[in-house]
Amino acid sequence: MSTTFGIDPVKPEHVAVVWPEVAPLFERAIERADSWDTVASLRADVDKGNTVLWLICDRTSLVAAFITGVVTSGRGRLLNAVILGGSRMSEWFVQFEAKLRDIAKSEDCKAVVAVGRRGWKRVFERCGWAEGPVTMLRIV
């Protein structure tokens, strides 16, 4: 029997309650992806209302969390999947990916963008994603 996961936004007034549970998920994701984000910067953006914290839960527990934000570009609005962390990904990824598309449509976005470690490429491609612009980095 397949599990359907709840994927829901956290109301701003509840972020402080759930943050101690999601912070370790994000710490691990930041470490694995060598991200320039920090748990503190992610929290600050959520608290300012610039981004939205989402939870992925099964019937009994939190299994993952992610943050989204909308970016306006010259070609239209984009939903930015800022960070994703959790466990049991093979069980909820397809549902999560569909939810990203639903969120993007509800926010009048033309596309969803996600930046992460190289291993995410094949996972996302299975759901119809294509590699977009390449990010280059030079430490100064």
Here the CATH number for the domain that contains residue 37 is 3.40.630.30
**What is the mean pLDDT of the segment spanning 98-118?**
93
Query: Residue 138 pLDDT more than 60?
Result: yes
Domain-embedded: residue 140: no
Residue 134, domain member (yes or no)? no
Any domain includes 35: yes
- Contact, 39 vs 22, CB < 8 A? no
76-86 vs 52-57, strand pairing mode: unpaired
Quote the domain boundaries for residue 75: 6-125
Residue 46 has pLDDT above 60, yes or no: yes
**Any domain includes 138:** no
For residues 139 and 63, the model is more confident at: 63
Q: Is residue 132 part of a domain?
A: no
Confidence of residue 19 (pLDDT cuts 50, 70, 90): very high
Number of domains making up the chain: 1
User: Quick one: pLDDT band at residue 21, thresholds 50, 70, 90?
Assistant: very high
pTM of the model: 0.91
Note whether residue 137 is domain-resident: no
Burial of 128 (0-12, 13-18, 19+ CB in 10 A): exposed
Interval 98-121 mean pLDDT: 92
